[in-house]
A and B are shown apart, each in its own frame.
Chain A
Amino acid sequence: MSVAKVRTFTEPPNARVGSSSFRTGELKGIIHINHRHCVGCDTCTKVCPAGAISGGIGTTHRIEIDRCINCGQCLTNCPFGAIEQMAFIEEVLRKLRDKETLTVAIIAPAVRVAISEEFGAPPGTLTVGRLHKALKEAGFVIYENNFAADQTILEEGTELLGRIAYWLLGLKEFEIEVWGKKIKVGLEHFKHKPLPQFTSCCPGWVRYAELYYPKVLPHLSSCKSPQQMAGASAKTYGALDIWKHDPAKVYTVGIMPCTAKIFEASRPEFCHAQKWLEEHGRLPQRSQRIPDVDAVLTTRDLAALFKKLNINPMRFSEAETPQDFEWYSGGATIFGTSGGVMEAAVRFAFHILSGEEPDALSSAWDFKQVRGYTNPVVEATIQVPLKPAYRELLGSDRFELRVCTVNGIGTDGSHLKPIINDAIAGRSNFHFIEVMTCSGGCLNGGGQPVNPMGTSWIDPLLPLRL
C-alpha cells in the first residue's frame, strides 16, 4: 500500500437523488471512507473543517454526507489510503473517443504546479506548455481557467467597489473606468449585499456557509467561480464564436485541484449556457439539463487519464504559443494560493481607485501581505491612493482597504468562525474577506497528488511554523 495512493470509485446509481441537505442533481458522497481500510487513527476527524466525520480513535470512521463539504482534506491527510473519491475518468475517456463531441479542458492554476508529481518530477515543477500539449494530444481543446479567473476578478472586484460605494459612501450609482472604458454600475441591488464581502470561488467554503452559516450568504460575492464562468462561456462564446461547434456537443471538463469542484459542477443552478442558448434560439427547448461543466477531474484523475492514454506531459517542451482562451494575467495564476484571489482583487481595486496602470514587472503591484502562507488568518490594511474623482467623494486622498484572508477553514471551523460571527453581527472591520477551505489554498486541495511527507494540519504545529 502506498501512502500517496488514492482509490477512486465511479458514480453510484443513486448519487444524484435529492435527500436531506442535497437537491436533486447534486452529487452525494463524493468522498467516502472505505471501512475495510480505516484503522481508526482519527486523522480525518482532526482535519475536517465541517465536523462531518464520526468515529472515535480505534473505530471505523464515517463521513456524514449531509454535513460534508467535499473538500477532501480527510482524503489527502489519511495515512492509510482509506478514503476514496468519486471519479469520472471513464466517462471523460468515452467523450474523448466520441468524434462528434468537442471536449474542453478547463484547467485550474494549481494543477500546473502539481501534475508533474504524478510523473516523477519534483513538487512545484511548472508545467504550463507541457500540460496544454498533453491535453491536446489526449483530444481536449483548452479553456484556461485562468482566463475565467480574470473574468471573475473583474466581476468580483467591481462588486466589492460597488458594495463599498453603496455602504460607505451612500452612492446609488458608481462609475468605474476599465481599460479606458467608463462603466456606470447601479448600486441599488447592493441594499441586500452588505459589507464585508466574502469570496465565492471556493466551493467548499460556499457549501460550508450554506450548511452552517446561512445568515452570511448575503455577504458572499454573487460571482460564480472561475470554473463555472468558464463552463458557461465555453458552451456559448467558445462553441459559437471560437470553435464553431454545436454547443449541445461541447463537453466541458473542469480539471481541478479540488474535490469540492465535483460537487459544484453538479449544482442544479449551473446551467446558464443552456438557458442563454435556448433564449437565443441556438438550442432547442429541452427538458434534459445541460450543465455548464459536465464533469470534473482532479489533478490525480487527470494523471490517471494520461496514464491510461500513455501520455506523459513531461516529455513535451514547455515552450508554446498560447491560443484562444490560453491567455491570462498573473493575477489569475495566483488564485491557486491562499490570499491569491485577495491579492488579485486588491490589484483591481487599487487600479480602479488610484487610476494607476498595473505594472507586471513592478513589485509595487504585489500585495503579498494578504497571502496566507502558514498563518491561519491574515489581516492587512492596504493604503490606496485615490484619483481626483474619488477624492472628492471620500473627502480624503487615500482609502484604507481592510482585508482578511482565512487560510483554511480550520478544524471544525476554528479559523473561520470568529471572522464569520463578526461579519454576521455587524462587528467586522474588513471590507473584503477571502476564505479558502484548504490551508494554503487550492494548491493544497483535496484533488492534488498526495505527498506522503505532507500534512495540511497546521494548527497543532503553529508554534513550529516558519
Chain B
Amino acid sequence: MKKMVVLRHSTPSRIMHNVHMICWIVLAVTGFAVYFKLVGEEVRAAFMQWHIYFAIPLTLVTLGYLVVTPDRAFMFAKELLSWDRDTIAWWKNLGGYPYKFFKIGSPGCPPQSKYNAGQKAFALSVVATLAILIVTGWSLYFVPQALGKLWTYIFFMLHVWLSFLVTLSLLFVHVPLSIYYWPDFKAMFRLGPGTVPLEYAREHNPKWVEKELALLKEEGGSPGH
C-alpha cells in the first residue's frame, strides 16, 4: 500500500522559499562583509555589486509570489495571521521544545495548524523584515536624496541590523529546527513534490490535517498517494 502523503509546500511556495534562501545567503555574506569591513577594498566593491545583483531576484520573486500566485500569498498570510487559543497556549511552554531539547519547562504541545505558533511568529518577522529590506535597500540605492540625512541613516541602520538579527535567528533557530524535522526539510528541497507523510503531519500539525481532510471530503477527493 502506498504511503499517504499531504502537500506541505506548493511549487510556487518552494520556488519563493528557495530563491529567497539562495539570495539571502549571498546578500548576508556580501552585506555583512561590506558593513563590518571583513574583506579588502576591492573585494568590498565587488561584493557590493553582487549584493545589488542578488537583491534583484529577491525582490522579483517576492513580487512575483504576490502577483502571479496571489491565492497562495493570501493563504500564506491568512495562515500566519490566524491565531487561536491553541496558538496562544503554545507560548506557555514554547510548544515543549525547551523540554524536548534541554529538559526545561513542561512537555506537551497544544494542537497546531499548518505552522505552529513559533513558526508563525518567526515567519511574520521574516516577512516584515523582507519588506523593510526591499524598501530600504532600493530607496538607499535609488533615491537617498529624497530621504534626507536622518531617514537615510535610519533606513541604513534598519537594513543592516534587522537583516543581522533575522540572519542570526535563521542560522541558529530556523535551520537547525528544519533539519531536525527531516520530512519537512525534504518536502522543501527534494526534486519531487513538496509532500510530507500524512502521519507525520497528523502528529505535528493535527489541526491543519483535519482542516485539509474536511476540505477534501467536501470536494469528494482523498489525500495524495
Hey, which bits of chain A sit against chain B, CB under 8 A?
Answer: 3-4, 39-41, 43, 46, 56-60, 77-80, 450-455, 457, 460-461, 464
A43:B144 contact, CB within 8 angstroms: yes
Instruction: From known contacts A41-B144, A455-B145, infer whether A80 and B150 are also in contact, taking CB-CB under 8 Å.
Output: no
Name the contact of B44 in the complex, choosing from A58, A79, A80, A464 (C-beta under 8 A). A58
A40 touches B44 (CB 8 A): yes
Quick one: given A455-B145, A461-B146, are A41 and B47 in contact (CB under 8 Å)?
A: no
Interface residues on B, range: 20 to 34
Residue in A40, A450, A464 whose beta carbon sits within 8 Å of that of B48 in the complex: A40
Count A/B pairs, Cβ under 8 Å.
69
- Would B150 and A57 count as touching, CB distance under 8 A? no
| Residue picked from B48, B143, B145, B150, most chain A C-beta under 10 Å | B145
Q: How far is the CB of B98 from chain A (nearest CB, A)?
A: 38
Q: Are A43 and B152 in contact (CB under 8 A)?
A: yes
18 A-B pairs whose Cβ atoms sit less than 8 Å apart in the complex: A3-B150, A39-B156, A40-B48, A41-B144, A41-B156, A56-B48, A58-B47, A59-B45, A60-B41, A78-B149, A79-B149, A80-B156, A454-B148, A455-B145, A457-B145, A460-B143, A461-B146, A464-B146
Per-residue 0/1 for B130-149: is the Cβ within 8 Å of any A Cβ (1 yes, 0 no)?
00000000001101111111
Name B15-35 residues within 8 Å CB distance of A: 34-35
- Report the bound CA distance from A4 to B156 in whole Å: 16
Is B153 an interface residue, CB under 8 A from the partner?
yes
> Chain A: which residue is nearest B160 at the CB level?
A39
* A453/B156 contact (C-beta < 8 A), A56-B48, A58-B44, A60-B41 known: no
Task: Check: B51 CB closer than 8 A to any chain A CB.
Answer: yes
- The residues of A that contact B37 with a CB separation of less than 8 Å are 60
Give the residues from 41 to 85 in chain B that come closer than 8 angstroms, CB to CB, to chain A. Answer: 41, 44-45, 47-48, 51-52
Which residues on A sit within 8 Å (CB–CB) of B151?
Answer: 453
Instruction: Check if B148 sits within 8 Å of A453, measured CB to CB.
Output: yes
Tell me if A79 and B143 are in contact (CB < 8 A).
no
A-binding residues in B (CB < 8 A): 34-35, 37, 41, 44-45, 47-48, 51-52, 140-141, 143-153, 156
Contact partner, A455, options B141, B149, B153, Cβ 8 Å? B149
CA separation between A255 and B176, bound complex, in Å?
62
Known: A58-B45, A58-B48. A450 touches B149 (CB 8 A): yes
Contacts of A453 in B (CB 8 A): 148-151
Which chain A residues border B35 with CB–CB below 8 Å? 39
Chain B nearest CB: distance from A283 CB in Å?
A: 47
- Interface SS of chain B: helix, strand, loop or mixed? helix
Instruction: Name the contact of A452 in the complex, choosing from B41, B45, B148, B156 (C-beta under 8 A).
Output: B148
Give the residues in chain B near A452, CB-CB below 8 Å. 148-150, 153
Q: Chain A contact residues: over half helix, strand or loop, or mixed?
A: loop
Cβ-defined partner of B156 (8 Å) among A79, A450, A457, A461: A79
- Report Cα–Cα, A464/B143, bound state, in Å: 12
Tell me, in angstroms, the Cα distance from A271 to B143 when the chains sit together.
Answer: 46
Which residues of B are found within 8 Å of A460, using beta-carbon distances? Answer: 143, 145-146
How distant is A376 from chain B, measured CB to nearest CB, in Å? 14
- Nearest A residue (CB) for B155: A79
Which B residues touch A43, using CB under 8 A? 144, 152
Give the interface centre of B34, B143, B144 by most chain A CB atoms within 10 Å.
B144
- Asked if A56 meets B149 with Cβ closer than 8 Å, knowing A39-B35, A460-B143, the reply is no
Residues of chain B within 8 A of A41, CB atoms compared: 140, 144, 152, 156
Q: Which residue of A lies closest to B47 (CB)?
A: A58
C-alpha spacing A449/B114, complex, angstroms: 55
**How distant is the Cα of A60 from the Cα of B43 in the complex, in angstroms?**
12
CB neighbours of B47 from chain A (8 A): 58
Whether the pair A79, B152 counts as a contact (CB closer than 8 A) is: yes
Determine how close the nearest CB of chain B comes to the CB of A334; give it in whole angstroms. Answer: 26
CA distance A3 to B144 in the complex (A): 14
CB-based contact A59/B149 at 8 Å: no
Q: Tell me the minimal C-beta distance from A59 to chain B in angstroms.
A: 5
Docked pose: A455 CA to B144 CA in angstroms? 10
Quick one: which of A3, A58, A77, A455 contacts B51, CB cutoff 8 A?
A58
CB contacts (< 8 Å) of B52 on chain A: these are 57
With A39-B35, A457-B145 known to touch, is A59 a contact of B153 (CB < 8 Å)?
no
CA distance A451 to B143 in the complex (A): 18
A451 / chain B contacts, CB cutoff of 8 Å = 149
A-B pairs, 9 with minimum CB distance: A58-B48, A457-B145, A79-B152, A452-B150, A79-B149, A58-B34, A79-B153, A453-B148, A56-B45
Does A57 contact B48, Cβ atoms closer than 8 Å?
A: yes
Query: B144: which A residues are within 8 A, CB to CB?
Result: 41, 43, 46, 79
How far apart are B51's CB and chain A's nearest CB, in angstroms? Answer: 7
- How far is B39's CA from A164's CA once the two chains are assembled, in angstroms? 60
State the Cβ distance, B145 to closest chain A Cβ, in Å.
Answer: 4
> Would B145 and A3 count as touching, CB distance under 8 A?
no
Which residues of B sit under 8 angstroms from A58, Cβ to Cβ? 34, 44-45, 47-48, 51
Give every chain B residue within 8 A of A56 (Cβ-Cβ). 45, 48
Q: State in angstroms the CA–CA spacing of A453 and B154 once bound together.
A: 11
Nearest chain A CB to B175 CB, angstrom units: 27
Q: Note all chain A residues with C-beta closer than 8 A to B149.
A: 3-4, 77-79, 450-455
With a CB–CB cut-off of 8 A, which chain B residues contact A57? 48, 52, 141
Closest Cβ of chain B to A219, distance in Å, is 31
Residue ID in chain B nearest A4 by CB atoms: B149
